[in-house]
């Protein structure tokens, strides 16, 4: 099970490098705990273009990662893209690279992964990787992204509960 970070697990504070500004999204802890209870590996796939833009340092990204883990517990994998849109890398969502890297590190096939995110790029990356995506919209999710999503849920816990137990390890 792979979660997007900003706007999905934690409130989206653009280019946040300050752990003190980390706030959980509603039901994030309960959703992550539920997945862990299934025994399914849990990871995060996140674009952090602030690094490429010079707005946040890699060390600040790690500091925020540590704060997220203080609040939610440890994740099995963090896959972070530090590139900007102009870099045209294969890891920046909507490209599938982060999902492929996370699944490879976890020793699982992307076709058995579920990606939970708040914008269309998260779901596009899931599709491109062969994974299933669930959109958990928030105030910045565009109406067309909601309309295009095959699966949506009003919050993370509802999204997780809608999946069969152990969903992250079966195609």
What is the Cα–Cα distance from 89 to 106, expressed in whole angstroms? 22
Is 6 in the active site? yes
Is 4 in the active site? yes
pLDDT score, position 165:
60
Q: Please determine, for residue 12, whether its predicted confidence score (pLDDT) is greater than 70.
A: yes
Q: Which of 4, 12, 155, 169 is catalytic?
A: 4
- Angle made by CA atoms 50, 150, 142, in degrees to the nearest 5: 45
Give the model confidence (pLDDT) of 109-126 as tens digits.
999 999 999 999 999 999
Give the model confidence (pLDDT) of 57-107 as tens digits.
999 999 999 999 999 999 999 999 999 999 999 999 999 999 999 999 999
Q: First CA to last CA across the chain, in angstroms?
A: 12
Q: Are 98 and 45 in contact (CB under 8 A)?
A: yes
């Amino acid at each position: 099970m792979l979660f997007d970070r900003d706007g999905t697990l934690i409130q989206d504070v653009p280019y946040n490098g300050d752990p003190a500004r980390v706030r959980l999204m509603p039901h994030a802890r309960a959703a992550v705990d539920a997945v862990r209870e299934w025994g399914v590996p849990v990871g995060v796939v996140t674009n952090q273009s602030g690094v490429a833009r010079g707005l946040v340092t890699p060390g600040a990204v790690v500091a925020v990662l540590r704060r997220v883990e203080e609040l939610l517990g440890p994740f099995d994998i963090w896959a972070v893209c530090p590139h900007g849109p102009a870099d045209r890398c294969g890891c920046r969502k909507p490209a599938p690279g982060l999902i492929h890297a996370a699944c490879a590190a976890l020793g699982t096939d992307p076709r058995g992964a579920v990606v939970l995110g708040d914008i269309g790029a998260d779901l596009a990356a899931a599709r491109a990787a062969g994974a299933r995506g669930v959109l958990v919209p928030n105030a910045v999710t565009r109406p067309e992204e909601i309309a295009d999503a095959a699966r949506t849920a009003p919050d993370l816990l509802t999204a997780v509960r809608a999946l069969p137990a152990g969903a992250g390890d079966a195609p």
